[in-house]
Amino acid sequence: MHDETRLLHSDSDDEPFRALTIPVHRASTLVFPTVEDFLTRHSRFYDGYSYGLYGHPASRALAGQIAALEEGSRAIIVPSGMAAISVVNLALLRPGDHVLLPDAVYAPARSAAEGFLSALGVTSTFYDPLAGAGIAKLFQPTTRLVWVESPASFTMEVQDVPAIAAAAHDRGALVAADCTWASPLGFKALRHGADVAVQALSKHVGGHSDLILGSVTVGDEALFRQIKDASRYLGLGVSPDDCFLAQRGLGTLATRLERQTVSAMKVAGALSGHPGVERILFPPLPGDRGHALWCRDFTGASGVFSVVLEPNRDAALAAFLEQMSLFRIGASWGGLHSLVAPARLDGSRSVVPWQGAGPVVRFSIGLEHPDDLIGDILEGLDRYRPLNRVASA
């Protein structure tokens, strides 16, 4: 079955109502017909139903679809992408263990390693996201887990995931991949050697900027149980309404990503060579430093890319972004509406200091007409580079 078909078909059944959509049952308590059923309810923790916190028809249906799209056997739906990252860390790491994270990792995951895992006795080392097989020299006898995030959130480094996974597996460490940028359609993390695939469903899958959810997918039953157990002890439950919305988002995911990718290529093309723009960071663009790896490993892209601007005063950046008419300033990505997010990267890296002299600005291209988006950005760049406009007038 193709992914486009998988996106529209789940195994949920809800006799006798049999809606085409997945069922939303709001419930804490489930009731049991017999004493025996009640007393053995915990045996249904991993598959069946025992209590609203541990799973309901909507979360099970969504998990089944995500697992199929990730080419795994089991998925867990958790309250956010960040919860997905943390439940993996807490399930797999113990005091004395060591974890490797890319230097460009999602910033809250970085501070979680530095501030939260370290307090639990877990040490972390950051590595050059472009290290590839060179990561081998960073392993310690206690290294249990390696994170990859490809491409990286703001700076779009594409990682050699198969090479990193081979090095990790040689040393008995597991690999967890945050694959939010490409969604399960664009990058099959498990196929490329990861043991765990994490998504912030809040982004492309939700797709409408109106829900927060995450997923963790694995291909191994023991690993699933280990992570599912951690989610139980942490009390991570999800709302059936949010699962319903995420599942609705899946139905249009392929179409949205296709359109957003085409639009983003157009917008990026219109910006390339612009005097205000030093560099465009978008792996699908020929010439991007990650393009070759992206072509090798990815089956799709998304409409999220960054530009490194020529240096200018903070006031010029504010004039550019605050007066845009279509792009709104905001975190997150993957919604219907285009967004812009500036980043301060100086001091954010500990291994490979960020080299760009000017600010980095990330665009999430929505479903507006690309020509309107291009006009909005070009006008913004005129405000960013007033001297240039005078010179060319």
Residues that bind ligand PLP (CB under 6 A): 80-82, 106, 149, 153, 178, 180, 200, 202-203, 212, 214, 332
Min dist. Cβ of residue 214 to ligand PLP (A): 5
Nearest to 302 by CA among 257, 262, 363: 257
Residue (65 or 180) nearer to ligand PLP, CB: 180
d(CA 65, CA 80): 17
Min dist. Cβ of residue 188 to ligand PLP (A): 17
Could you tell me if 359 and 155 are in contact, meaning their C-beta atoms sit under 8 angstroms apart?
Answer: no
**3-class DSSP assignment, residue 63:** helix
Could you tell me if 139 and 167 are in contact, meaning their C-beta atoms sit under 8 angstroms apart?
Answer: yes
Min dist. Cβ of residue 307 to ligand PLP (A): 18
Could you tell me if 363 and 340 are in contact, meaning their C-beta atoms sit under 8 angstroms apart?
Answer: yes
State the Cα angle at 236 between 230 and 242, rounded to 5°.
140
Min dist. Cβ of residue 178 to ligand PLP (A): 5
Residue (300 or 375) nearer to ligand PLP, CB: 300
Could you tell me if 167 and 135 are in contact, meaning their C-beta atoms sit under 8 angstroms apart?
Answer: yes
Residue (333 or 384) nearer to ligand PLP, CB: 333
Residue (97 or 149) nearer to ligand PLP, CB: 149
The helix (H) or strand (E) run that includes residue 371 is: helix 370-384
Min dist. Cβ of residue 252 to ligand PLP (A): 19
d(CA 171, CA 38): 44
Residue (50 or 183) nearer to ligand PLP, CB: 183
Min dist. Cβ of residue 89 to ligand PLP (A): 13
DSSP 243-308: HHHHHHHHHHHHHHHHHHHHHHHHHHHHHTT-TTEEEEE-TTSTTSTTHHHHHHH-S---SEEEEE
Residue (78 or 381) nearer to ligand PLP, CB: 78
Min dist. Cβ of residue 153 to ligand PLP (A): 5
Residue (190 or 200) nearer to ligand PLP, CB: 200
Residue (7 or 156) nearer to ligand PLP, CB: 156
Which amino acid would we find at residue 109?
A
Min dist. Cβ of residue 333 to ligand PLP (A): 7
d(CA 162, CA 331): 30
State the Cα angle at 282 between 297 and 385, rounded to 5°.
175
The helix (H) or strand (E) run that includes residue 341 is: strand 339-343
Min dist. Cβ of residue 225 to ligand PLP (A): 24
Residue nearest to ligand PLP (CB): 81
The helix (H) or strand (E) run that includes residue 229 is: helix 221-233
Nearest to 127 by CA among 98, 87, 154: 98
Residue (149 or 195) nearer to ligand PLP, CB: 149
Nearest to 183 by CA among 78, 253, 248: 253
Residue (178 or 310) nearer to ligand PLP, CB: 178
Q: What is the DSSP letter of 311?
A: P
Min dist. Cβ of residue 123 to ligand PLP (A): 22
